[in-house]
């Protein structure tokens, strides 16, 4: 009887220690996930709290700030993976697939952004051509001073929607934490692209569609900043600041040509076009760099998957 009691006591102690260790691990993982979310939240808040000079919401400078978010939140995600000691080589199929799909859809969204930038670059060339015609063919110049129109995006974003995830598909707490963090960076990255596409195209549609697609995850990190952005894009219907300024300058020049006093208006449009060109080039370079980084990260993970199968 005494021997049985001792065995039962040891078994109970072992189970208790196992439970304590499991609870301690869960607490550590929860703290790491919370720290990650705090870092990401701070990055998001910078869009509203500390805007750079001349970077009003829906300006090209502000769009650059939006894209600066993506490397920051990816670094926060990498830090989380290191903190919980769960490298990509240890991930299960569900998280690997999620990360690969995230990268693929983000590349598609960045391609759409590049298309919108090309549309604006073409519009800039039309205004620049108008200036070149001003001296010899003012009537033809007026024909090239038509306002930049919103770009209708035909891209279907349905393929970017999050799949239903069951809690039972994760075999470990670390896998669950990684997946939750991955959902955060995926939805924030897509949201950023939706905001940028709406700003560049002059239509709220891409923002609203992507917002609807990520709504199921209901990221608390996006609620505050999204409410402010939604007010500007949807309720006020504001477009890109620089486009509005260029359209106004072009309209002023067209009126000045008719009245025969176009010198000052032409200089104003020329000055704005030069600034616009530099801003577009900087943004195009930023998008290209992001595309290269996302593609490199995705290829690196694919290589790791192939090595695991060997």
- Interval 143-158: pLDDT, tens: 999 999 888 776 666 5
Please, are residues 102 and 188 in contact by the beta-carbon 8 Å criterion? no
- Interval 157-166: pLDDT, tens: 655 555 555 5
Spell out the per-residue pLDDT of the chain, length 310, in tens. Answer: 555 555 555 555 554 544 444 566 788 899 999 999 999 999 998 887 655 555 588 899 999 999 999 999 999 999 999 999 998 888 988 889 999 999 999 999 999 999 999 999 999 999 999 999 998 999 999 999 999 988 877 666 655 555 555 555 667 889 999 999 999 999 999 999 999 999 998 888 899 999 988 887 777 888 888 888 888 888 777 789 999 999 999 999 999 999 888 889 999 999 999 999 999 999 999 999 999 999 998 898 888 777 776 6
């Amino acid at each position: 009887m005494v021997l049985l009691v001792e065995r039962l006591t040891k078994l109970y102690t072992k189970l208790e220690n196992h439970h304590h260790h499991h609870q301690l691990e869960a607490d550590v993982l929860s703290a790491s996930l919370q720290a990650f979310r705090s870092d990401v939240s701070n990055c998001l808040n910078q869009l509203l709290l500390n805007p750079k000079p001349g970077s009003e919401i829906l300006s090209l400078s502000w769009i650059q700030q939006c894209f600066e978010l993506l490397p920051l939140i990816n670094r926060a995600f990498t830090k989380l993976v290191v903190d919980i000691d769960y490298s990509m080589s240890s991930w299960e199929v569900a998280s690997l697939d999620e990360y690969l799909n995230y990268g693929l859809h983000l590349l598609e969204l960045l391609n759409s952004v590049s298309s919108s930038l090309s549309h604006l670059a073409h519009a800039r060339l039309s205004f620049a051509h108008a200036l070149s015609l001003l001296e010899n063919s003012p009537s033809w110049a007026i024909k090239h001073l038509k306002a930049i129109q919103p770009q209708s995006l035909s891209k279907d974003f349905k393929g970017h929607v999050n799949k239903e995830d069951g809690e039972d598909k994760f075999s470990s707490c670390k896998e669950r934490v990684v997946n939750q963090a991955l959902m955060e960076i995926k939805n924030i990255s897509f949201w950023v692209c939706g905001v940028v596409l709406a700003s560049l195209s002059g239509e709220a549609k891409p923002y609203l569609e992507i917002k609807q697609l990520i709504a199921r995850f209901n990221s608390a990190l996006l609620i505050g900043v999204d409410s402010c952005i939604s007010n500007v894009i949807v309720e006020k219907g504001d477009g890109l600041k620089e486009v509005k300024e260029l359209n106004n300058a072009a309209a002023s020049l067209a009126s000045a040509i008719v009245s025969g006093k176009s010198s000052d208006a032409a200089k104003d449009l020329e000055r704005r076009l030069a600034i616009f060109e530099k801003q577009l080039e900087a943004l195009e370079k930023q998008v290209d760099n992001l595309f290269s980084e996302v593609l490199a990260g995705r290829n690196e993970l694919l290589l790791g998957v192939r090595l695991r199968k060997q």
